[in-house]
């Protein structure tokens, strides 16, 4: 076990799946954010690209990322996921490795994606969900979006024609403004163990430092404190007095392995997007919470 991150040289290896095929709307910005946040803390983050034809050996990685792409790019990726990476991906997820899957990556980790034209693309079925594209006559889900993530907010940009519907899967969050999974039921994304699917693109981690650090913390705790924590924290849902459910973020008794950073610019960008969506109360609350927490550092 590591009791003090300052006395140890921490390192992580991130597997970036299909960096050439699935990189729409700045999804690489999520990788750059993780690299920068590690660099500022003296943590080595090695990024390894995994393209079509490359096997995925789960023991070689600490977290995984898969971005979004157009339908024509997703077809060969869907085939490769099953033929080359499926077993390794499942092993990693069942061992609680953190995985972030954005847009097309999210769709391909669910049961299937049904495009407007052509055959269904079979997914891995990690998330109990499915996606259907209803054709060009139905407007795309496009624009800025804000969701409720536990008792906090996540902001980002979405642009997808497919509508995703959840079976028993827990959503990542609830839509405050924007479309989310399907523009119907106010859900956004999906969760299975420490795998997170979402439609929020490359502005996700740059404008949500708390979520970026959450992924890094999960990866570090899994790697360095695995012997003391057999169950890496996972999300739960709790019933409210009105009978609905809300996300309850996991807590861990293990000490954080991440040094605090000055995220003033990130939180200002987060609040600015909330303001652009007309969520002025939420924006003020975010800035107030950041100021209060920074004073405690």
Task: Specify the DSSP element, H or E, that contains 35.
Answer: helix 28-39
Residue 237, classed as helix, strand or coil, is strand
pTM: 0.89
Structure tokens at 244: 């609905």
Contact 230, 95 (CB under 8 A): no
Whole-number average pLDDT of the chain: 88
Contact 201, 26 (CB under 8 A): yes
46 marked as part of a ligand binding site: no
Instruction: Render 169-235 in DSSP notation, one character per residue.
Output: PBPSEEEEES-TTTSSS-EE-EEETTEEEES--TTTTTT-HHHHHHHHHHHHHHHHSTTT-SS----
Taken in order 263, 266, 272, 274, is the CA torsion positive or negative? negative
The whole-number pLDDT of residue 74 equals: 82
Residue 66, classed as helix, strand or coil, is strand
Instruction: Render 245-296 in DSSP notation, one character per residue.
Output: EEEE----SSPP-S-----HHHHHHHHHHHHHTT-HHHHHHHHHHHHHHHHH
Q: What is the mean pLDDT of residues 266-282?
A: 97
The whole-number pLDDT of residue 23 equals: 81
Greatest alpha-carbon pair distance for the chain in Å reads: 59
Which of 68-82, 112-126, 149-163, 236-250 is the least confident region?
236-250
Contact 112, 69 (CB under 8 A): no
Kindly report the backbone phi and psi dihedral angles of residue 84, in degrees, each rounded to the nearest multiple of 5, phi listed first: -115, -30
d(CA 225, CA 66): 25
| Sequence-ordered list of residues with C-beta below 8 angstroms from that of 10, at least 6 positions apart, any chain | 2, 41, 42, 43, 44, 220, 224, 257
Contact 94, 126 (CB under 8 A): no
Q: How far is CA 212 from the centre of its chain?
A: 8
Q: In which band, very low, low, confident or very high, does the pLDDT at 70 lie, cut at 50, 70 and 90? A: confident
Q: Where is pLDDT greater, at 294 or 194? A: 194
d(CA 128, CA 167): 5
Q: In which band, very low, low, confident or very high, does the pLDDT at 295 lie, cut at 50, 70 and 90? A: low
Q: What is the mean pLDDT of residues 46-52?
A: 97
Q: What is the mean pLDDT of residues 110-131?
A: 95
> Does the structure show a pLDDT above 60 at 44?
yes
Structure tokens at 266: 């990130």
> Does the structure show a pLDDT above 90 at 249?
no
201 counts as catalytic: yes
d(CA 289, CA 291): 6
Q: Where is pLDDT greater, at 116 or 8? A: 116
**Pairing, β 173-177 against β 187-188:** antiparallel
Tens of pLDDT, residues 145-170: 999 999 999 999 999 999 999 999 99
Which of 34-38, 185-189, 288-292 is the least confident region?
288-292
Q: Where is pLDDT greater, at 182 or 1? A: 182
Q: Which of 201, 210, 270, 290 is catalytic?
A: 201
Q: Which of 16, 38, 103, 270 is catalytic?
A: 103
- The distance in angstroms from the start CA to the end CA of the chain is 25
Task: Specify the DSSP element, H or E, that contains 153.
Answer: strand 152-160
Q: What is the mean pLDDT of residues 118-139?
A: 95
The whole-number pLDDT of residue 109 equals: 97
User: What domains appear along the chain, each with residue ranges and CATH number?
Assistant: 5-222 (3.40.50.880), 262-297 (no CATH)
Question: Taking Cα atoms as reference points, which of 220, 23, 173 lies closest to residue 103?
Answer: 23
> Does the structure show a pLDDT above 90 at 292?
no
The whole-number pLDDT of residue 254 equals: 64
The whole-number pLDDT of residue 297 equals: 55
Tens of pLDDT, residues 208-246: 999 999 999 999 999 998 644 444 444 444 433 333 344
Q: What is the mean pLDDT of residues 265-275?
A: 97
Q: Where is pLDDT greater, at 118 or 193? A: 193
d(CA 249, CA 134): 34
The whole-number pLDDT of residue 245 equals: 45
160 counts as catalytic: no
Q: In which band, very low, low, confident or very high, does the pLDDT at 293 lie, cut at 50, 70 and 90? A: confident
């Amino acid at each position: 076990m590591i009791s003090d991150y300052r006395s140890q040289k921490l390192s992580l290896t991130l597997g970036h799946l299909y960096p050439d095929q699935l990189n729409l709307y700045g999804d690489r910005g999520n990788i750059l954010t993780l690299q920068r946040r590690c660099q500022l803390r003296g943590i080595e983050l090695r990024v390894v690209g995994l393209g079509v034809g490359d096997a995925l050996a789960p023991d070689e990685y600490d977290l995984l990322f898969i971005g979004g792409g157009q339908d024509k790019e997703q077809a060969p990726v869907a085939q490769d996921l099953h033929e080359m990476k499926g077993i390794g991906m499942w092993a990693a997820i069942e061992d609680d490795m953190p995985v972030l899957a954005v847009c097309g990556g999210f769709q391909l980790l669910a049961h299937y994606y049904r495009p407007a034209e052509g055959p269904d693309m079979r997914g891995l079925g990690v998330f109990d969900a499915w996606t259907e594209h209803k054709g060009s006559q139905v407007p795309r889900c496009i624009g800025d979006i804000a969701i409720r993530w536990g008792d906090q907010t996540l902001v980002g940009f979405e642009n997808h024609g497919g509508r995703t519907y959840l079976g028993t899967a827990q959503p990542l969050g609830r839509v405050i403004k924007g479309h989310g999974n399907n523009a119907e039921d106010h859900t956004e994304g999906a969760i299975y163990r420490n795998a997170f699917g979402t439609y929020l693109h490359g502005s996700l981690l740059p404008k949500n430092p708390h979520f970026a650090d959450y992924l890094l913390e999960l990866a570090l705790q899994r790697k360095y404190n695995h012997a003391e924590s057999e169950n890496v924290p996972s999300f739960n849902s709790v019933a409210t007095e009105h009978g609905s459910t809300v996300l309850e973020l996991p807590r861990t008794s293990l000490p954080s392995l991440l040094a605090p950073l000055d995220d003033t610019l990130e939180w200002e960008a987060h609040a600015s997007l909330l303001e652009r969506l007309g969520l002025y109360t939420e924006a003020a609350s975010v800035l107030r919470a950041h100021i209060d927490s920074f004073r405690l550092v």
